[in-house]
Amino acid sequence: MRFDTILIGGGLASLVCGIKLQRAGQKCLIVSAGQNALHFSSGTFGLLGRLPDGTAVSNPLEELGKLPGTHPYSKIGPVKVSEYAAEVKDFFNSCGVRLHGVAAQEGSEVSPNGYRLTPMGVLQPSWLAMEDVTLLPSKDELKWRKALIVNFYGFLDFNASFIAEGLWKIGVESRVETVKIEDVETLRKNPADMRSVGVARLMAKEKNWKDFGGMVRGLLSGEDLVIVPAVFGFGDQVIVEWLREMIPADVMFIGTMPPSVPGIRTQILLKKAFESAGGTFLPGDTALDPLFSGTSVAGIHTANLGSIVLSADRYVLASGNLFGKGLEATPNRVYEPVFGLDTDFPADRSKWCDPDFFALQEFAGFGVLCDDSFKAFKDGRTVDNLYVAGAEVGGCNPLYEGSGAGVSIMTAMSVADSILHGN
């Protein structure tokens, strides 16, 4: 089977790149082994929350020049990153994913980074947010005085008391209530079923979300903010909008323990957009055993298709890093398992991770070595037709910098442009 471009990985980077290529007239295949980071998403996209030296960033586009030359944003170039940033909202909107926040305001005194309230009740910088996630314009000026936090009875994956504690610390008087929805109660028979996805499936029934909204309304006692778990709406944002309209206070949806319902919704909508543009998505299959012709990839096999060779003019490796299994590690070595590409990691094993959980963790920045157009290196030479995108790209530590989605989106857009312009 022959395609213009084969993309390996079904996460944010692969989908953004695949949609761009497919919409530009290419014939693309995405091979996706399994779950991706969107299934664990906070519901927000980070562009740059702090510099590698730890300095906090409030206006990412103004700080790009301070990044090292090996950083993916430096390879793309600050001007191009700003151009892509300005396109992001329209691009996602065209896929049915409505994002809010300030996407691009180069040179402005207003900070594009907003702040999201985490499930621990702490404010964290974020660039853009999915529809149901609230972004505050500043971490110092909260507009609410009193908050009501509502959880489902027995739902342990949403820690309402952490949130309440965090809010008290930043001056918002908070109280916690629980509600019982008969259908959701049935999940409690088996604790393994009482997870965000199980609750979200039941809350998709109109009677349940309407009952929930009514109960929350009844509990209100002068609060100007209501916080509920983000378990509403896999396919669209209709329930979120309805709850926001019917509850007479600001309604904030806060992420639960994974899986992430807003993240899964985004993945579903992006996959739909890729397929509607004519792309082929091969779920639950793993790319392996590539064929090489000189310094080019000539084809790949997959675990399910046996001896059938899938070939294309160009290949994009967007298989995540250690988390997505795009990289694997032995006690002394970090390697890329599909093509055997060159990887970037410290030889000194003791530097891989820090016992202080909150310190910079080097392993989160391991990636594949690539040139300035994200063509991968193998044995010190670029592979002519193999690009790397997303978390698999080395040269930055997205976890530390708060740049995860930004790096995925920017590298995906850049790789798509390189392919379309024949670079």
Ligand X SMILES: Cc1cc2nc3c(=O)[nH]c(=O)nc-3n(C[C@H](O)[C@H](O)[C@H](O)COP(=O)(O)OP(=O)(O)OC[C@H]3O[C@@H](n4cnc5c(N)ncnc54)[C@H](O)[C@@H]3O)c2cc1C
Which residues of the chain form contacts with ligand X (CB under 6 A)? 8-14, 31-34, 36-38, 40-42, 44-46, 286-287, 318-320, 323-326, 338, 390-391, 398, 404-405, 408
Identify whether the C-beta of residue 387 lies closer than 8 Å to the C-beta of residue 72. Answer: no
Residues 299-330 as b/e (b if ≥16 CB within 10 A, e otherwise) read bbbbeeeeeeebebbbbbbbbbbbbbebbeee
Identify whether the C-beta of residue 240 lies closer than 8 Å to the C-beta of residue 214. Answer: no
Identify whether the C-beta of residue 325 lies closer than 8 Å to the C-beta of residue 334. Answer: no
**Coil, strand, or helix at residue 393?**
strand
Name the residue nearer to ligand X (CB basis): 45 or 212. Answer: 45
In whole angstroms, the minimum distance from the beta carbon of 23 to ligand X comes to: 18
**Coil, strand, or helix at residue 34?**
coil
In whole angstroms, the minimum distance from the beta carbon of 216 to ligand X comes to: 26
CA distance 11 to 2: 22
Reading the block at residue 407, the tokens are 């790096």
In whole angstroms, the minimum distance from the beta carbon of 70 to ligand X comes to: 18
Dihedral over alpha carbons 351, 336, 14, 406 (to 10 degrees): 20
In whole angstroms, the minimum distance from the beta carbon of 348 to ligand X comes to: 24
Dihedral sign of CA atoms 289, 404, 360, 66 in order: positive
In whole angstroms, the minimum distance from the beta carbon of 285 to ligand X comes to: 7
What's phi and psi for 393, nearest 5 deg?
-75, 130
Name the residue nearer to ligand X (CB basis): 148 or 364. Answer: 364
Name the residue nearer to ligand X (CB basis): 40 or 292. Answer: 40
Name the residue nearer to ligand X (CB basis): 146 or 325. Answer: 325
Name the residue nearer to ligand X (CB basis): 323 or 335. Answer: 323
In whole angstroms, the minimum distance from the beta carbon of 377 to ligand X comes to: 18
In whole angstroms, the minimum distance from the beta carbon of 37 to ligand X comes to: 3
Q: Which residues pair with 179 in a beta bridge?
A: 152
């590298």: which residue's tokens? Answer: 411
| Cα-Cα end-to-end distance for the chain | 24
Q: Which residues pair with 126 in a beta bridge?
A: 114
Identify whether the C-beta of residue 384 lies closer than 8 Å to the C-beta of residue 416. Answer: no
Name the residue nearer to ligand X (CB basis): 127 or 377. Answer: 127
CA distance 127 to 108: 15
CB atoms near residue 422 (< 10 Å): 7
How many alpha carbons fall within 13 Å on the CB side of residue 25?
A: 2
Name the residue nearer to ligand X (CB basis): 11 or 299. Answer: 11
In whole angstroms, the minimum distance from the beta carbon of 337 to ligand X comes to: 7
In whole angstroms, the minimum distance from the beta carbon of 421 to ligand X comes to: 22
Name the residue nearer to ligand X (CB basis): 148 or 388. Answer: 388
Name the residue nearer to ligand X (CB basis): 119 or 166. Answer: 119
Identify whether the C-beta of residue 14 lies closer than 8 Å to the C-beta of residue 317. Answer: no
